[in-house]
Structure 1
Amino acid sequence: MKQLQDNNDVCEQLCVHDRIVCLARADMLLDEDVRQIAETFKILGDATRIKIMHALSKRELCVCDIAAIVDIGQSAVSHQLRLLRGARLVRYRKEGKMVWYSLDDEHISMLLAKGIEHVKCE
């Protein structure tokens, strides 16, 4: 059976609101900022990385702990952490023979919390 296309979500006539367009263009991000934001969301678009970040949002963890928590190998965790570090989403500190990971800053914690809030909202 052929489904009818719902056109209720588009304007029925072409009418560009010049004043609104001008104001919106003035508020647009720089292309480099757009690229960096898109890259951040691209890195966030992986379930394993979200699990790692969620674990790190609760406490500082070492690679061994993260591997046990998300149930993947240490080399896979290290690979994911390298990607997250490259995107400035996590950071690490070395303490003796241990390397401890945490979320990079409060912005990342808030971004993750808002994502969780969004999916849990009805």
Structure 2
Amino acid sequence: MQTGDPDFLLPADHDVRLATEAFRLLADPTRIKILWALYQGESSVAGLADLVGATPTAVSQHLAKLRLARLVRGRREGTFVYYSADNQHIHRLLAEALGRVSADR
């Protein structure tokens, strides 16, 4: 361990908490599928439900959590809300994780 190195820094507690919350949110297969779908383009709750094989109610609940974490955003058009992914860092993280899983097969 480099404790004597003046350039050795740990991340701030606030940043560690944010990262932990992001990982916690990503620890759900449906949320990963939702995010991955949204990185391909915006979609409605019904469209996402069809894509990920979940009920619209479940997808809405997942989207609410992802929206609070600022990982997705919604755009209202009439009575519909269209969602899109809102964090390129998470996109890269998912691509890396999913690429690693594919490479292990």
Amino acid in structure 2 at the alignment position of 1:105: N
Report whether the alignment pairs 1:113 with 2:95: yes
Determine what percentage of the aligned residue pairs are the same residue: 41
2:97 match: secondary structure? helix
1:23 match: secondary structure? coil
Amino acid in structure 2 at the alignment position of 1:91: R
**Distance across 2 between alignment mates of 1:66 and 1:118:** 24
- TM-superposed deviation, 1:113: 1.4
User: Structure 1 runs of 4+ off > 4 angstroms?
Assistant: none
Question: 1:1-40 deviations in whole A, cap 9, x for unaligned?
Answer: xxxxxxxxxxxxxxxx5xx223388421011110110010
Structure showing greater radius of gyration is 1
The alignment covers a number of residue pairs equal to: 104
Q: Given the two structures, how large is their TM-score scaled by the length of structure 1?
A: 0.77
Q: How does 1:1-122 map to 2 (within 5 A)?
A: 20-23=2-5, 26-122=8-104
Which runs of 5 or more structure 2 residues have no equivalent in the other structure?
none
The structure, 1 or 2, with the larger RCO (C-alpha pairs under 8 Å, 6+ apart) is: 2
Amino acid in structure 2 at the alignment position of 1:87: A
**Distance across 2 between alignment mates of 1:52 and 1:90:** 10
Could you say if the C-alpha distance between residues 116 and 73 of structure 1 is closer, same or farther in structure 2, counting changes exceeding 3 Å? same
**Distance across 2 between alignment mates of 1:55 and 1:63:** 11
Could you say if the C-alpha distance between residues 24 and 59 of structure 1 is closer, same or farther in structure 2, counting changes exceeding 3 Å? farther
**Distance across 2 between alignment mates of 1:32 and 1:81:** 24
Aligned to 1:8: none
